[in-house]
Amino acid sequence: MPHTQQFASDNYAGICPEALRAMEEANRGSATAYGDDPWTLRAADAFRRTFETDCELFFVFNGTAANSLALASLCQSYESIIAADIAHVETDECGAPEFFSNGAKILVGRTTNGKLTPETIRAFVLGRTDIHFPRPRAVTITQPTETGQVYTLDEIRAISATCRELGLRLHMDGARFANAIESLGCSPAEMTWQAGVDVMSFGGTKNGMAIGEAVIFFDRALAEGFDYRCKQAGQLASKMRFLSAPWAVMFETGAWRTHAAHANACARHFAQQVEALPGVEIMFPVEANGVFLKLSETLIEGLHARGWRFYTFIGGSARFMFAWDAQIARVDALAADLRALTTTDAA
């Protein structure tokens, strides 16, 4: 039995109808293994059309693999990767980027909302240029950030210009890329290669797929040997069509955007209902599908007592994530419970 809907993570959601239909269609009969099949071709074409460029593509099982293998392909073991302090690659990948790069170090830039700046990047590169320090070679930015902020096109362009100037490659962790696209309303090309992004991890799981992320190399030369890297890391799916088919249908139907738009709208809707409540503070601007609330212990306990599950690991804030399947009635129920608790509190 499925439990009542929760907003602790966008990964609580199931598989969206389009992705499921694609897997069912891919299951009619057999196909060539290891990606040499019509579905994988169709998905790759859909990516190239969507991004308006002849990019190189790889389908892997999860975001940790996509990020860490992409970053490993950008630097040598004695080099380093500049990331924000709350970046998933730093805090939630169990050292996989360091592991798969054979020791490249992540340099952690202090931020308030997960956004790196050209100044932070510059300070790392120019601060130490001697042989004792791991030479910076790559920068990774998360779009949207782990606290739901979206880099503007100008911010991405400024970062990529700094990268070019300093000889760094730029990676984008797009675990929620679709939400960022819906937020800014620009084209995928504008947010990535046209803004100077070299490689991107594109999240399918949080967009409504069962499993799977894509690694997109806009600079094809950087993809040299990446197929071997995936295989060695245990990330080459033998029945690749079940990873790739959902992408094809998600792009062809536009579902990747409508699902993200719905998730973002639910976050805004929730934020609007709770922003004025006494004792409730929205910690970060709501620009994607997450809402982060600063709540008293009493309110947190009250919500838990009413059966709500959520994480409180970022700066003591309660995080609520809305997925493609968020039910407006449940969003309203959460807001209503919070309203009831704040009223009791005040009394």
Shortest reach from residue 146's CB to ligand PLP, in Å: 5
- Answer yes or no: are the C-beta atoms of 103 and 96 closer than 8 Å: no
Tally helices (H) and strands (E) across the chain: 14, 11
If the CB atoms of residues 31 and 211 are measured against ligand PLP, the closer one turns out to be: 211
Considering only the stretches 56-64, 126-134, 234-242, 256-264, report the one whose residues sit in contact with ligand PLP under the rule CB under 6 A. 56-64
Site for ligand PLP contains 146 (CB under 6 A): yes
Burial (Cβ within 10 Å: 0-12, 13-18, ≥19) of residue 48: middle
Query: Binding mask 86-105 vs ligand PLP (x if CB under 6 A, - otherwise)?
Result: --x-----------------
- Answer yes or no: are the C-beta atoms of 169 and 138 closer than 8 Å: yes
Give the number of other Cβ atoms within 10 Å of residue 76's Cβ: 14
Q: Which of 175, 181, 321, 334 binds ligand PLP (CB under 6 A)?
A: 175
Site for ligand PLP contains 173 (CB under 6 A): yes
Query: Binding mask 24-43 vs ligand PLP (x if CB under 6 A, - otherwise)?
Result: --------------------
Report the distance separating Cα 124 and Cα 122, nearest Å: 5
Burial (Cβ within 10 Å: 0-12, 13-18, ≥19) of residue 237: buried
If the CB atoms of residues 207 and 342 are measured against ligand PLP, the closer one turns out to be: 207
Query: Binding mask 197-236 vs ligand PLP (x if CB under 6 A, - otherwise)?
Result: --------xx------------------------------
- Answer yes or no: are the C-beta atoms of 156 and 177 closer than 8 Å: no
Axis crossing angle, helix 38-51 with helix 241-253, rounded to the nearest 10: 40
Q: Which of 35, 63, 208, 302 binds ligand PLP (CB under 6 A)?
A: 63
If the CB atoms of residues 235 and 342 are measured against ligand PLP, the closer one turns out to be: 235
Point out which residues bind ligand PLP (CB under 6 A). 62-64, 67, 88, 142, 146, 173, 175, 205-206
